[in-house]
Structure 1
Amino acid sequence: MPRIAASSYLNSTPLIWSFSEGSHRHSVKLLTDTAPARCALMLARREVEAALVPVIEYQRIPELVVVPGVCVGARSRVRSVVLATRKRDIREVSSIALDTSSRTSAALIEIIFREFLRREPRLTPAEPDLAAMLQSHDAALLIGDPAMTFPRDDLRVYDLAELWREHTGLGFVFAMWMAGEEDA
């Protein structure tokens, strides 16, 4: 029975429902993990045949095939990938704590700041705990359920898909189903 991995985040639910509750639930072994980065690691180690992984991993993991037609993405706002800060303007941010669950979003933060805002903030991986992240950084990148559920009091919250759209006019893909070439 093929093994597949996906995060259990709310934004993944439509992409795994058939495997967890629907007609394919007996045809695969579904491993849900809360961290997309962990799903990528499992696929890279070939512990699973396919996984819903951060799109940046297509460049990093050799011999992958993209499963077409489905993704975690957005044309404008995604609401599950955000930068939170107490600064009044995003251009004032000089340090960012990056959610360790993230890979594509961490790369997107670098692109947004370097290419669009002409800034080079200090980037530090951190566990997705907003209070702890903001104790030592100007801003925090959060993804998945933690990004949708934290209190927004006294914070400016930037949706990364929306920032991408403002600067490029395009939607953004955060994660896709991928499989090893030998398993596709």
Structure 2
Amino acid sequence: MPYELQKCINFGCVNYINALPFSLPLLENSYLQLHLAPPAELLKKILHHEIDCALTSSIGTVAQKLQCLPGWGIAAHKHVQSVNLYTSSSFFSSSRPKVAITNESLSSVALFKILCHNLWQVPSPQIEHLSPSEIINLSPDRYDGLLLIGDAALKHPQIPQFTTHDLAQCWDELTGMPFVFAVVLNRTSWENCSSLIHLALESALSHFENSPQEVIETAHKRTNLSHKDLRTYYSLLRYRLGEEDYAGLKAFQQYYDRLLQKT
């Protein structure tokens, strides 16, 4: 049976509102079986051959050397609002800061470690992985820093007694480049159906670019953020990756490799 007549491709997609421009239309796609999950879970599914490809954490191509479908992803330059480090007054002076990090993240954890070594010159942090719901209720008495991503970070631009740092802005301070948070990873070459995936992503994104109302309304219902704030948020995100974004991804690769050599 031809690919376009059956759901032949198991496609994963991040289940945050930043991916809604892709995930909403793809739910109706006739040849993609969509799997929605946090980025860390999607990467595991690809590595375990449970799905074929996914819009998920860019650490998959940086650390796992997985192939990625060119042209598509989620990047931001200078500001992203949905990848936040919250620091207490002791974070930058601690001999080894204790940081609670969301268990849904991979790329952002690597980015955080890179920034600790190269921008802030902070000693390697002691990391504890917790759920987002646990993190938002923590106090600076117990933790020097907190890291949230996705919808949880968007809904909590501030956490009492902590200072918020947008990690896309911090990456820009270090490199002057955009940061690629997600790419479309695949575990095989998928030469026989990559064109179908390209067409599906192009159709989905074109619909969002021409008529963003459905995405914004869905995001509003999920987060209770205002339509104005959501429009601002989506304006920060790059879904069509270009040369500048891939230069940023290459820089991420280089910093990550150097970090591994030090640890």
Would you say the 8 A contact 1:133–1:139 is kept in 2? no
Does residue 69 of structure 2 align to residue 103 of structure 1?
no
Output one character per residue of 1:16-54: Cα deviation in whole Å (capped at 9) or x when no partner: 233124xxx111100111x11000001111111111121
Measured after TM superposition, the shift of residue 90 of structure 1 is 5.5
Where does residue 125 of structure 1 map in the other structure? 129
Output one character per residue of 1:87-132: Cα deviation in whole Å (capped at 9) or x when no partner: 2x85246221111100010011111011111111222222222214
Candidates 158, 176, 179, aligned match of 1:172: 179
Aligned equivalents of 2:155, 2:188: Cα separation in 1? 37
TM-score by length of 2: 0.63
Would you say the 8 A contact 1:65–1:178 is kept in 2? yes
Candidates 146, 152, 157, aligned match of 2:152: 146
Q: Which moved more, 1:75-84 or 1:127-136?
A: 127-136
Measured after TM superposition, the shift of residue 135 of structure 1 is 5.8
Measured after TM superposition, the shift of residue 14 of structure 1 is 1.5
Would you say the 8 A contact 2:83–2:168 is kept in 1? yes
Candidates 83, 86, 94, aligned match of 2:85: 83
Where does residue 31 of structure 1 map in the other structure? 35
Please state whether the residue corresponding to 2:116 is helix, strand or coil.
helix
Aligned identity (percent) is 26
Aligned equivalents of 1:40, 1:176: Cα separation in 2? 11
RMSD: 2.0
Output one character per residue of 1:39-73: Cα deviation in whole Å (capped at 9) or x when no partner: 000111111111112111113335x3211112111
Aligned equivalents of 1:95, 1:154: Cα separation in 2? 15
> Higher helix share goes to which structure?
2
Aligned equivalents of 2:170, 2:82: Cα separation in 1? 13
Unpaired segments of 5 or more residues in structure 2? 1-7, 192-263
Give the paired residue count.
Answer: 178
Unpaired segments of 5 or more residues in structure 1? none
Would you say the 8 A contact 2:75–2:178 is kept in 1? yes
Aligned equivalents of 2:157, 2:121: Cα separation in 1? 29
Please state whether the residue corresponding to 1:46 is helix, strand or coil.
coil
Does residue 69 of structure 2 align to residue 67 of structure 1?
yes
**Counterpart amino acid of 1:70?**
W
Structure label with greater radius of gyration: 2
Q: Say which structure, 1 or 2, has more relative contact order (CA 8 Å, 6+ apart).
A: 1
> Higher strand share goes to which structure?
1
Would you say the 8 A contact 1:43–1:51 is kept in 2? yes
**Counterpart amino acid of 2:82?**
S
Would you say the 8 A contact 1:97–1:133 is kept in 2? no
| Distance change >3 Å, CA 32–CA 135, structure 1 → 2 | farther
Measured after TM superposition, the shift of residue 182 of structure 1 is 4.1
TM-score by length of 1: 0.88
